[in-house]
Amino acid sequence: MLDQSFYDKADEIISVHGKGKESLIPIMQDIQAEYRYIPPELLSYVAKKIGVTEAKAYSVATFYENFSFDKKGKYVIKVCDGTACHVRKGTLILERLNKELGLSAGKHTTDDMLFTVETVSCLGACGLAPVMTVNDEVYPAMTPDKVSETIQKIREVEA
Amino acid sequence: MDYMTIDGIKVPIEDEKNILQLIRKAGIDIPTFCYHSDLSIYGACRMCMVEDERGRMFASCSEQPRAGLTIHTNTKKLQQYRKLIIELLLSTHCRDCTTCTKNGMCELQSLAYRVGVHSVRFENKKEPLPLDLSSKCIVRDPNKCILCGDCVRTCAENQGIGAIDFAHRGSKMQITPAFGRTLSETDCVGCGQCAVVCPTAAISIRTNVTEVWDAIEDPKKRVVAQIAPAVRVAIGDKFGLPRGENAMGKLVKALRIMGFDEVYDTNFGADLTVIEESREFAERLKSGEKLPLFTSCCPGWVKFCENKYPEFAGNLSTCRSPMGMFSPVIREYFKKLDEEEGKETYIVAIMPCTAKKAEILRPDNHTGGRQDTDIVITTQEIIRMIKQVGINFGELGSEACDMPFSMASGGASIFGITGGVTEAVLRYMSVDKDHATLEDIKYSGIRGKEGFKRATVTLGDRQLNIAVVHGLKNASDLLEAIKAKEADYDFVEVMACRRGCILGGGQPVPMGPHTRKARMDGIYQVDQLSSIRYTDENPLIDRIWEDIIKGHEHELLHRNMH
C-alpha cells in the first residue's frame, strides 16, 4: 500500500485526462513524469478507476520500453547505443558509467538511488554522437573522461 | 444474388461477415487458430490466408465478402506459408506431444500433421517458464502458448473478467495475469472457457483422475458417482456417437464396469434445487426483500458476483447447486450403512464444469465440517478414464441409475442449458400442471441462444419480470442496469458459460455451431421424453424428504452463510 499522497496525485492526473480507457497511456506518462517510474499499485488503482482490467493495463505498460515499474535514481542517464553512437564508441561511455557507479547489465540503479543508467536505441541526435542524456539534458560528443567529470559534478552538487 | 468464386466453386454471399465464413460454407475446412465466431476478429495466426487472382494474399477472417471476387484457399504458395508458420510456432513450442494432456486433441498437433511439417529447422532457445498451478480449475502452461489470444478475448469479451492479457513484447511476449501473478490472485472464476478455446495445452483442465482411481481401488470406500444433466449429451462426441445424443445409459454402464459402487443422476439434485429455490423465491416475493432473486447453481457466476458485485451477494439464492444439495443427501443416506460396514462414502461428481472443482472446497459446501463432494471430474476426464479402461463406449448397452435416486423430472434435465433453471422453477410454481402450461412457459421467451433474455410471466395474480443471461459479460451488463435502476426484475438466472453447461469448460471440444445446436436439442429431448415434466410429480422426492431431509433443509440444502 502506497502513501495516500500517491493516490491523490493519481486522482489529480486522472481528472486531467478523463476516465476513458484511451486515457491510460497519458495517465501513465504523467505518473512516470511525477515519480520517474510507475508504482505497480498505482497502475492497478488507475486501471480500476478508468475501467480497464489490471491485466490490460499491465499489457500496455510492458509493451512500451519507456514505462518502468522499477524505482529510478534521481538522475536518469540514458546512453545512446544507436548505430551512429555505437560506431563512435558509445559502448565505452556505458562502460565508464558502469565503472564509476558500480553498475552492471543486471543492475541499473545505484543503492543510494542517485543514478540510473539505461541504454536507448537512438536519441535522435546522431550528429552529436556519442551522446547521452541526464534527466533529458543532452551531453554531446562524450568521451569516457567527460563521463567521469559529469558524474563528479553531480556528486558535488548532491553532497 | 451476389457470388464469390472459391477454388472454382461459385458460392452465394448471404449474411456472412467475412470471407472465412463463406469458405467454410463452401465446405472447405480452412485452418485457424485465432478465429472464433463469437469473439472479435484478431487476425493474428495467419492460417486462414487466401490468394486472389492477382496473387495478392490476405487473411480471410479479416475481409468482407465481395461480389465477383475469385480466391484460392490452397495454392502451392499458401501451403508453403502455412507450413512455415507452423514450423515457426513449433520452434518455441514444447514438443513432448506423447505426454501432453492435449495429445490427440491439440489443434497445433493436428495442423502440423495436416500441413505436413515433418521436421523443425529452428532450435528452441526459449527459457522454460514455470507452470501456474494455483487454480483448482485450470492449469496454465506458458511454454505451450502460441499467443493466438483466444483466451484473452474470451475472458474479456464473453466473460467480462479479463484476468489474463498479453504482456511484454517481441520474443518475450507471453499471456499472463497482471504483474506475473498467478491465476488464484486474479478475479478468475474458473469457468474454463479459456481452456475451451485454447488450441494447445497452454490452458487445460486441472485433472483429478488419479484421485478417483485411488478411491475406486480402496476397499474401504463406497465410491458414488453423480452425473450432471449436461454430461450425457456431450460425452458421445469422443466415441463416435451422433452429436448431442443422450448417452446416459451407456455412461452409467461404463461407470459400473469401471468399479463405481453406486451411480446417481444429478438431475435428482436439480429437483431438490427446484423445490428449495421456488420456496425461497415465494418467500422473497411475499416479503419483497432481496429481489431480484439470483440463481446460485453456477459456481462461476456465484464467484463472479461475490468478486465484482459484492453488493448483490445477498440477492444470490442461499440454495446450494444441484450437485451441492445432492452430495450431503447421498452421504446422509449411507450414513448408517457406512458405520455398519466400516466404509466411507466417497462422492465423485461428473460435471461439465471446471468451476465445480473449486465450488466443492468452499466452506458453504461443507456439512458438519466435512466436504460434501469429494472430487469433481469433468466430462473430458471421464472420457479419458473410459478410454484408459478400454471400454468400447459406442457399442456399450444402456443401464439405469441406482435407486432410490434414479428418477428425476424433465424440468431437472434442462438445468444444463440457459433458461432451464427458470423453466423448471416456473413449472414448479405454476398452479396448473397441464400440457398448455408447459407450452406457455416454453414460449415465454426464456429459451434460445440470445445472451440476454427477458420475459414476463403471470403467476397467480402477479406479473413476474424475469431475466435470463448467459456469459458473464451479459451478467455484468444486467447488474449495471439494475444498479442504475434502468431495469427491475424479480428473478434472474445467470450461467457463466454461453448457452449454459452444455458448453461448459469441462465439456469435450471443439464446440462448433453444429455441436452447440445438437447439444441444445439433445437436452430438450431428454425433457421431452420424460414422463414426469414437473418436479412436484417426482414420486421419489417425498420419500427422501421424509427419511433424510425433513428438519435438516438448512444444513443439507443451503449455503450456510452464517
One domain for residues B197 and B274: no
Contacts 24+ apart (CB under 8 A), B7-14: B7/B71, B7/B72, B7/B73, B7/B74, B13/B65, B13/B67
Please name the residues in contact with B303: beta carbons below 8 A apart, sequence gap of 6 or more: B189, B190, B355, B358
Residue that finishes a domain, picked among B20, B53, B74: B74
- CA atoms of B413 and B425, how far apart (whole Å): 12
One domain for residues B172 and B271: no
Residue A105 confidence class, pLDDT cut points 50, 70, 90? confident
One domain for residues B197 and B252: no
Contact A55 B168 (CB under 8 A): no
Contact A56 B162 (CB under 8 A): yes
Q: What percent of chain A has pLDDT over 70?
A: 100
- Burial code (b: 16+ CB inside 10 Å, e: under 16) for A25-36 equals bebbbbbbeebb
The answer to whether residues A104 and A115 touch, using CB atoms and an 8 Å cutoff, is no
Cα A46 from chain centroid?
20
One domain for residues B289 and B411: yes
Question: Which grid coordinates belong to B110?
Answer: 493436428
The residue with cell 426464456 is: B446
> If you average pLDDT over residues B123-151, what whole number do you get?
94
Contact residues on chain A for B186, CB-CB shorter than 8 A:
54-55
Q: CB contact, 8 Å: B171 with chain A?
A: no
Cα pseudo-dihedral B222, B226, B227, B229, rounded to 10: 170
Residue that finishes a domain, picked among B16, B50, B74: B74
Element (H, E) at B197: helix B193-197
Query: In this structure, is residue B460 part of a structural domain?
Result: yes
Residues 425-454 of B with CB under 8 A from A: none
One domain for residues B187 and B260: no
Contact A58 B179 (CB under 8 A): yes
How far B359 CA sits from the closest chain A CA (Å)? 25
Q: Summarize pLDDT for B427-442 with one digit per residue, the tens.
A: 999 988 899 999 999 9
Q: How many C-beta atoms surround the C-beta of residue B270 within 10 A? A: 29
ipTM rounded to 2 decimals: 0.89
Q: Summarize pLDDT for B72-112 with one digit per residue, the tens.
A: 999 999 999 999 999 999 999 988 899 999 999 999 999 99
Query: In this structure, is residue B562 part of a structural domain?
Result: no
Domain range for B34: 3-74
Q: Are strands A132-134 and A75-80 parallel, antiparallel or unpaired?
A: antiparallel
| Amino acid letter for position B469 | V
Q: CB contact, 8 Å: B178 with chain A?
A: yes
Residue B143 confidence class, pLDDT cut points 50, 70, 90? very high
Contact residues on chain B for A54, CB-CB shorter than 8 A:
162, 177-178, 186
> If you average pLDDT over residues B357-386, what whole number do you get?
96
- CA atoms of B514 and B499, how far apart (whole Å): 13
- CA atoms of B264 and B89, how far apart (whole Å): 45
One domain for residues B49 and B117: no
One domain for residues B153 and B233: no
- In chain A, CATH 1.10.10 covers 4-63
Q: Which of A54, A63, A68 to mutate to test the interface with B (most CBs of B within 10 A)?
A: A54
> If you average pLDDT over residues B7-21, what whole number do you get?
94
CATH number, domain with residue B350? 3.40.50.1780
Please name the residues in contact with B340: beta carbons below 8 A apart, sequence gap of 6 or more: none
Contact A56 B169 (CB under 8 A): no
Contact A53 B161 (CB under 8 A): yes
Q: Summarize pLDDT for A82-100 with one digit per residue, the tens.
A: 999 999 999 999 999 999 9
Measured CA distances, B91 to B25, B29, B55, B241, B392 (Å):
33, 25, 28, 37, 38
The answer to whether residues A31 and A23 touch, using CB atoms and an 8 Å cutoff, is no
- Phi/psi of residue B511, nearest 5 degrees: -115, 75
> If you average pLDDT over residues A127-142, what whole number do you get?
92
Q: Which of A38, A43, A56 to mutate to test the interface with B (most CBs of B within 10 A)?
A: A56
Neighbour-count burial of B242, counting CB atoms closer than 10 A to its CB (0-12 exposed, 13-18 middle, 19+ buried):
exposed
Total H helices, total E strands in chain B: 19, 19
Residue B562 confidence class, pLDDT cut points 50, 70, 90? very low
Q: Going along B236-337, which residue ranges are E strands? A: 262-265, 293-294
pLDDT of residue B561: 59
The answer to whether residues B259 and B386 touch, using CB atoms and an 8 Å cutoff, is no
Residues in a beta bridge with B79: none
- CA atoms of B438 and B534, how far apart (whole Å): 9
Question: Which class does domain A4-63 fall in?
Answer: mainly alpha
pLDDT of residue A17: 96
pLDDT at B171 over 50: yes
The residue with cell 542524456 is: A133
pLDDT at B371 over 60: yes
One domain for residues B91 and B46: no
- CA atoms of B187 and B519, how far apart (whole Å): 29
How far A55 CA sits from the closest chain B CA (Å)? 4
- CA atoms of B562 and B560, how far apart (whole Å): 6
> If you average pLDDT over residues B190-198, what whole number do you get?
96
One domain for residues B298 and B433: yes
Q: Summarize pLDDT for B545-557 with one digit per residue, the tens.
A: 999 999 888 889 9
Instruction: Provide the domain count of chain B.
Output: 3
- In chain A, CATH 3.40.30.10 covers 75-158
- Burial code (b: 16+ CB inside 10 Å, e: under 16) for A83-118 equals ebbeebebeebbebbbebbebeeeebbbeeeebbbb
pLDDT of residue B215: 98
Please, what is the angle between helix A54-63 and helix A24-35, to 10°?
A: 70
Q: Summarize pLDDT for B51-74 with one digit per residue, the tens.
A: 999 999 999 999 999 999 999 999
What CATH number labels A75-158? 3.40.30.10
Query: In this structure, is residue B79 part of a structural domain?
Result: no
Flag the least confident range among A45-54, B201-210, B451-460.
Answer: B451-460
pLDDT of residue A159: 81
pLDDT of residue B270: 96
One domain for residues B477 and B464: yes
pLDDT at B352 over 60: yes
The answer to whether residues B26 and B50 touch, using CB atoms and an 8 Å cutoff, is no
Please, what is the angle between helix B266-287 and helix B322-341, to 10°?
A: 120
The answer to whether residues B102 and B204 touch, using CB atoms and an 8 Å cutoff, is yes
Task: Name the residue among B383, B380, B379 with its Cα closest to residue B350.
Answer: B379
- CA atoms of B79 and B402, how far apart (whole Å): 55
One domain for residues B374 and B229: yes
Residue that finishes a domain, picked among B46, B74, B102: B74
Contact A57 B178 (CB under 8 A): yes
Q: Is B407 helix (H, G, I), strand (E, B) or coil?
A: coil
Contact A59 B161 (CB under 8 A): no
CB contacts < 8 A (A, B): 41
One domain for residues B146 and B61: no
How far A65 CA sits from the closest chain B CA (Å)? 9
- CA atoms of B181 and B186, how far apart (whole Å): 8
CATH number, domain with residue B68? 3.10.20.740
